[in-house]
A = this chain, B = another copy of it.
């Protein structure tokens, strides 16, 4: 079965290629009848344009790409449909591209920019380190979304929450509920992203309340297991419980980690929240269906995605160049914390 090109269709219909092109792309100045004839041939022979040729030819497009690092992050899942809807509202077509842990997101971004003649790009997740340097060669409007950078360290458009502040918030909440011995599961030892920021918030909260920092209650995720996984939360919590160090509350750096922690705690015969209170971070769907439901910090994923599109659009339209939006996240008070 052979593949038809625009030339074939033109020949079949006895018209020029440009007429076929116009008919396909709904160009106004085409006779209704010829148009119908062309479209019928298109259907009949299952002609599908070659996007490589289209992209190559067009000097510009309305494509916007969303580049995701850590596609399986459940927190991102609430954002995908929002990106899609919002970009469509602004008449952009969009491409979602996942970048693997091993891949160079900047390289991929560059390839995409050329290949699809992107108008703009949104980076979702990832992107630690010197952001400005990394983005140096991205010569189209771009917005960072949900990346672990601090305001100051970055000279690009940005949508995020203040991980330090929010983590401080939830730990303060625990303290208000009477907890003093608060354990924390933070990122792997080498982590410099959200794990580190959330740990910083934890430390600040303790400090403000005159509670002494106890290294024994800080536990890093296991390097040999995917970080922020259920299993990691389970394994390290189990280790913590076995260590014998006492604590009345546990702050997990993510809801998924908290889920693993639940299992470890319950398995050890302890109850949540009667014996140990637990809080998470992210506010993913799962938190509400855990039993007891998980008290956590809920990031406003939908609003963040929407704002990222808005900033990108502004930048594309030239209305502004660099602007940052830091959202405040809400404490979602569920059942996993006991007032002692």
Let me know if A52 and B115 touch, CB within 8 A: yes
Let me know if B56 and A52 touch, CB within 8 A: yes
Let me know if B110 and A46 touch, CB within 8 A: yes
Chain B CB within 8 A of A139 CB? yes
Q: Which label, helix, strand, loop or mixed, suits the secondary structure of the A interface?
A: helix
Let me know if B286 and A263 touch, CB within 8 A: no
A116 to B96, CA, bound (A): 17
A96 to B72, CA, bound (A): 14
Per-residue contact bits, chain A 100-132, to B (CB 8 Å; 1 contact, 0 not):
100000010011001110000000000000000
CB distance from A264 to the nearest CB of B (A): 9
Let me know if A46 and B114 touch, CB within 8 A: no
Tell me which of B3, B51, B231, B262 contacts A139 (CB under 8 A).
B3
Chain B CB within 8 A of A211 CB? no
Quick one: closest B residue to A292, CB to CB? Answer: B266
The contact size tier of chain A is: 35 or more
Which residues of A212-233 have CB atoms within 8 Å of chain B's CB atoms? 229-231
Chain B CB within 8 A of A330 CB? no
Residues of B within 8 A of A50 (CB): 56, 114-115
A289 to B258, CA, bound (A): 11
Per-residue contact bits, chain A 194-216, to B (CB 8 Å; 1 contact, 0 not):
00000000000000000000000
CB distance from A299 to the nearest CB of B (A): 18
A46 to B135, CA, bound (A): 13
Let me know if B1 and A289 touch, CB within 8 A: no
Residues of B within 8 A of A293 (CB): 263
A48 to B110, CA, bound (A): 7
A53 to B52, CA, bound (A): 7
A267 to B267, CA, bound (A): 19
A116 to B293, CA, bound (A): 46
Chain B CB within 8 A of A141 CB? no
- With A77-B72, A291-B267 known as contacts, the answer to whether A1 contacts B51 (CB < 8 A) is no
Tell me which of B46, B53, B72 contacts A137 (CB under 8 A).
B46
Chain B CB within 8 A of A92 CB? no
- With A230-B289, A289-B234, A290-B263 known as contacts, the answer to whether A114 contacts B56 (CB < 8 A) is no
Which residues of A60-103 have CB atoms within 8 Å of chain B's CB atoms? 71-72, 77, 84, 96, 98, 100
Residues of B within 8 A of A290 (CB): 263
Quick one: closest B residue to A58, CB to CB? Answer: B52
Quick one: closest B residue to A138, CB to CB? Answer: B1
CB distance from A81 to the nearest CB of B (A): 9
Chain B CB within 8 A of A285 CB? yes
Let me know if B286 and A230 touch, CB within 8 A: yes
A267 to B288, CA, bound (A): 12
Let me know if B3 and A114 touch, CB within 8 A: yes
Chain B CB within 8 A of A55 CB? yes
Residues of B within 8 A of A289 (CB): 230-231, 234, 259-260, 262-263
